Every structure is written in structure tokens, then in C-alpha cells.
Structure 1
Amino acid sequence: MIRTAFFYVTLVLSTIFFGALAAIAGLVGGGRVWMDRANRGWARSVLAAAGVRVTVHGLEHLHPSGTQVIAANHQSYFDIWALIAGLPVSVRFIAKRELANIPMLSVGMRSAGHVLIDRDRARSARETLREASDRMGAEQLTLVLFPEGTRSRDGQLGRFLRGSFALALETPASLVPAAIDGGRHVYPPGAKRVRPGSITVRLGPAIRPEGAEPADRRTLMRKTRTAIEAMLPERGSGGGASG
């Protein structure tokens, strides 16, 4: 209980501090460098408070420019902090607007330049994705999406939402599959207590070469799912792809 209490106190204080730093950087034109520092400081402080170690494999698959889309499975809120802290690129997330209902998480993500989309309003979502695509190229960002749309409750790979790949089809950037494992043991969906542990991130080869013509969405979704399944310790469809 002491570890969990310390985690929540750190989460609140670090979100306030680094969120303010990111907001100030945005106001004074601090640019991507200061935004990245705020992001990583936030993620690393939260991970340290929880006693979570992050190991990353496959960094050679990231594009040298740092501009790409990463599609990852989703087990825990800690997946977000693991990717921010573990990847040496400017990471921003495409996440559902429902995260706005989680005060500390939504404040930190908004302040640090992450993107929340309203999946129930198709036109608004498309406009948000176009803006995100423009930002990705202009600011050399790596945008992360979770095709399952929500966290897996049993660690199995859930159904993929075809709409999640709209961003990948809007941009010529490469799509890199990522398998994240361990978050469900640290902080499972619905849990109140945090358990120390480790999270492993595995990156696979880019599925669509930069500059290629937009692929069929179903084909891209299927290839991405197959790549992520192959990198997870325990393979399982957990429901299959969804259109």
C-alpha cells in the first residue's frame, strides 16, 4: 500500500509539474525538444515511483528521421509511459477522447501535445487525424495508436478496429508494429494497486515502406496484427480482427 500511495502522489505532482513545463514550452515557442523533455520526465518519474523497469528491443526498426506511425497492443495505462520513456524519438499518442475522464492522465497528455480524438464524431475524428498527420511531418513526430481501441483485460490481443488505421493511410510514413508485455501485471484494468515489475517493448520491421501507395486498410490491419502476435510471448487472437 505504501508503494501505491507513493505512486499516486508522484503521479499527481509530476503531472502538474511536467504538464506546466510543457504548457510553458508551448506558449514561449520552446519547440519539440522541451516538449520531449517534459514528456520523458513525466513518464520516467511515474515509472520510477511504481518500481517499473522498461526494456526495448528492435530500436533499429525506427526511422532515422523519427517520423513514423507505431501500432501497438494495449494492456495497461503504463504502456503509454513505457513508450515515452523507452523510445528515443518524439512520441505522441492518438488516443480516445474518453481519456479526458481521467483527470491526471488527460491533463498530462494534452499539455504534452498528445492527440485525443472523438471516435463517435467521424468528421471531427478525420479532421483531427489530418492535423496530426501534418504535425507528424512538420515536427518529425512518432505517432502511436492502439488498434484495439482499449486495454486488454486478459493480456490477449483484442479485436482490431479498422478505423484505427486511418492515420496510417493518410500519411506516407512507415508503420512500425510494437508488442508491449508486462503492463497487465503492473497495473491491470480496474486495479487500484500498483505492483513493481517490468515492461518489455518489442518493435518489428516497418510494414509499409515510406513513400508507398496507400495500402488496403484490411490488408494493412491483418499484416500489423500478425506482426504484433508474433512478438508477444503468448500468442492468441483474443477475438480476431474487426472491420
Structure 2
Amino acid sequence: MLFLLRMLLMGLHFMLAGVLGVLVGLCRPFNPDNSRLCARLYALPAMWILRLNVKADVDSLRNKPGTCVIIANHQSNYDLFVFGNVVPYRTVCIAKKSLKWVPLFGQLFWLAGNVLIDRGNAHKARRAMLTTTHTLQHENTSIWVFPEGTRNLGKGLLPFKKGAFHMAIAAGVPIVQVCVSNYVTHIQLNRWNSGDVLIRSLPPIPTVGMTADDIPALMQACHAQMEACIVEMGRELQSPATIELPSS
């Protein structure tokens, strides 16, 4: 019964947040800080409805070194609500073009200045990547990417795609890694307190002086660091010391 009630409230919240987000986008279209504001619109009420206890240790994200490419693990559609708590100032996201047609959310996403990529068209995808390089270098705007390219459904970190690393090296900006603990297979939405979630950012990795030849090693290093961080957060959540987490 509690699960069904939560799903009903989440559906209503999703629509209401979409309406408010579209209004924000219409008032100041394509402002790169719309993403942060809209992320909070979705995340803060959702955490209350779902009763997820989120603890964020993301100083290197909040105090990021100017513009950067932010990479994060991608578990499920709930990432919108979980990561929405920590999206920093002037940060836009890269996502598949088909999101544009999701009622309210798609229009909000577009008006927020996010980058929509047609993954089925290599030429358009490359052109979009060139646009992001200009954004990183000249518009004081960071870009959030899920380098796995799809949801891993809590089954472990998938192999990374090269796009985010190409962008960072082309623009000469650091990479900031953001990790969220495995929550998809652990949350229990039929209980009053659904579960605990940890979010952690890692120190920035500079890319100045790197070339395309450095991408494989850079991808491997980031994957290994994020995987280790996710495993460590899983251990912490199993410890009694992390049973009570403040709500972010």
C-alpha cells in the first residue's frame, strides 16, 4: 500500500515539477543554471516522498575548478532525483535526443540548455560534441555526463564510452568523478524509511597536455577509481556507523 501511494505521489510530483520547470525555462530560456534549479525541483520533494536518506560528500564538486566535465555512474531513472541534490552551479547535461519528446520533462530539459545528442547519427553527434567544447572553454559552463551511456541497474559499473574524455581533453578542462552507492537493489519503497544513499566526489583529474592517445589510459583510471569508490561506499553502508544518515 505504501509503495502504491509513493508511486502516485511521485507521478503527481513529476508532472508538477515539470510544469514549474518549463515556466522557469520560458522565463529565462537556455540559461545554464536552469538545470541546477530544475534538478532541485525534482530532487528535494522526491527525497521526502521516497524517504531516502542521502548523505553527500561532494566538496570537490561544489568547489570544482572552474569549468569541468563531470562523470557519474548511472543506475536508474531515479538518478534524476538522487543526483539532483548535488548538481552544481552552471552545469548542463548530455542526454539522448529522444528525451526531448517526454511530456513536460523533455521540454524542460531542452529549455534548461542541456545538450541533446542523436546517437543514431554520427555526424550530428560529433557536431554536438564540438559545441560542448566551445561551451566548456568560453561559456563558464560545466557538463555532466554518464559515461556508461545507459543504466547499469545496480549490477556494477559498465564500460565507459569515450565522449566525455574527448570533450575534457579537447577543452583542456579537468574531470570530476561523482559516485553514488548502489541503491537500486537495496531501497525498499514499501517501508517508511526506504534506505540510505551515499554520494561522493573524487579529486579533479587535470587533462591539460593530454591528447587523444591518452584517452584509453584515462578511461581505465577513472573507471577503476569510481569502481573502488562505489565498493567502499557499499561497505560503509553495511557498517552500523552509517545506519542513521542526515537527509540532504
**TM-score calculated relative to the size of structure 1:** 0.79
Q: C-alpha displacement at 1:112, in angstroms?
A: 1.8
Q: In structure 1, which of residues 7, 10, 16 is the aligned counterpart of residue 10 of structure 2?
A: 7
Q: 1:36 to 1:104 in 2, by over 3 A?
A: same
Match of 2:217 in 1: 219
Q: Name the structure 1 match of 2:144.
A: 144
The corresponding residue for 2:204 is 206
- When the two structures are aligned, how many residues end up with a matched partner? 227
1:221 deviation in Å? 1.0
- How do 1:127-206 residues align onto structure 2 when only pairs under 5 Å count? 127-185=127-185, 196-206=194-204
- For residues 62-81 of structure 1, the aligned pairs below 5 Å read 64-81=64-81
In 2, Cα distance between the equivalents of 1:98 and 1:183? Answer: 26
Unaligned runs of 5+ in 1: 236-243
> 2:9, 2:227 → 1: CA distance?
35
Contact 2:35 2:92 in 1 (8 A): no
Matching of residues 59-138 of structure 1 within 5 Å: 59-60=59-60, 64-100=64-100, 102-138=102-138
Q: In the TM superposition, what whole-angstrom CA distance separates every residue of 1:173-221 from its partner, at most 9, and x where no partner exists?
A: 1011221124414789xx9xxx943432111122225x33335221121
Q: CA distance change for structure 1 residues 89 and 83 in 2, over 3 Å: closer, same or farther?
A: farther
CA RMSD of aligned residues (A): 3.0
Residues 94 and 144 in structure 2, CA contact (< 8 A), matched pair in contact too:
yes
Report percent identity of matched pairs.
Answer: 24
- Paired with 1:114 and 1:181, the residues of 2 have a C-alpha distance of 25
Residue in 1 aligned with 2:244?
none
Amino acid of the structure 2 residue aligned with 1:208: P
CA distance 1:47–1:15, shift in 2 (3 Å): farther
Give CA-to-partner distance per residue, 1:43-76, whole Å, 9 cap, x none: 3233333333432224136554541111111101
Select which of 12, 23, 31 maps to 1:20: 23
Q: 2:92 and 2:33 mapped to 1: Cα distance?
A: 13
Counterpart of 2:74 in 1: which secondary structure? Answer: coil
Paired residue type of 2:158: G
SS at match of 1:77: coil
SS in 1 for 2:29: helix
**1:148 aligned counterpart, secondary structure:** coil
Distance 1:46 1:7 in 2: 7
Structure 1 residue 47 and structure 2 residue 47: aligned?
yes
Aligned partners of 2:166, 2:18: CA distance in 1, in Å?
30
Counterpart-to-counterpart distance in 2, 1:139 and 1:39: 20
User: Partner of 2:246 in structure 1?
Assistant: none
Query: Which whole-Å CA distance do the structure 2 matches of 1:43 and 1:111 have between them?
Result: 18
Q: Deviation per CA, 1:63-94: give whole Å up to 9, x if none.
A: 54541111111101222333332244333211
Give the unaligned 5+ runs of structure 2.
234-248
